[in-house]
Amino acid sequence: MPINILIIEDDEELLCLLRSAFKLNNFNTYIARDIEGAIKIANKEKIDVIFSDIVIGKDKVINYLDKLLVGKNKKAKIIFTTGYSDVAYELKNDIPLFIKPYDVDRVIEKIKKLIKLTEVI
């Protein structure tokens, strides 16, 4: 069964890189360039993993998790990324965080591990 990933990212170059890498790994990808778009996708699609920049525009995605993790997506795994070291402290210890610039292969490994853990539970 393919893995459904919602990418929330406002950096167009990084977004293209992630989309390509995820598709090469047979992940279904949904793209949101802002929080409003991400919430719309989360309300329509079954998402397994949310891969998101913490800061999108002037908002922090962490403040909208209650609107993203709803319905069929309550158990979606979250992976955050940031280029801002001052926002990393706001995360719970159980949410993976990649500091930009990061290795996309390591992100893919982490996604696969998170999905395997979910399948075992």
pLDDT(117) > 70:
no
pLDDT digits (tens, 9 = 90+) for 3-48: 999 999 999 999 999 999 999 999 999 999 999 999 999 999 999 9
Distance CA 39, CA 67 (A): 6
Spatial strand order in the sheet of 49-53: 28-32, 4-8, 49-53, 77-82, 97-99
Predicted confidence (pLDDT) per residue in 60-109, tens digit: 998 999 999 999 999 999 999 988 766 655 566 678 999 999 999 999 99
Residue type, 51: F
Is the whole-model pTM more than 0.75?
A: yes
Give the number of other CB atoms < 10 A from CB of residue 46.
Answer: 11
The overall longest dimension of the chain from CA atoms, in Å, is: 38
Closest CA to 38 of 67, 75, 16, 76: 67
Where do the domains of the chain lie, and which CATH numbers do they carry?
A: 4-120 (3.40.50.2300)
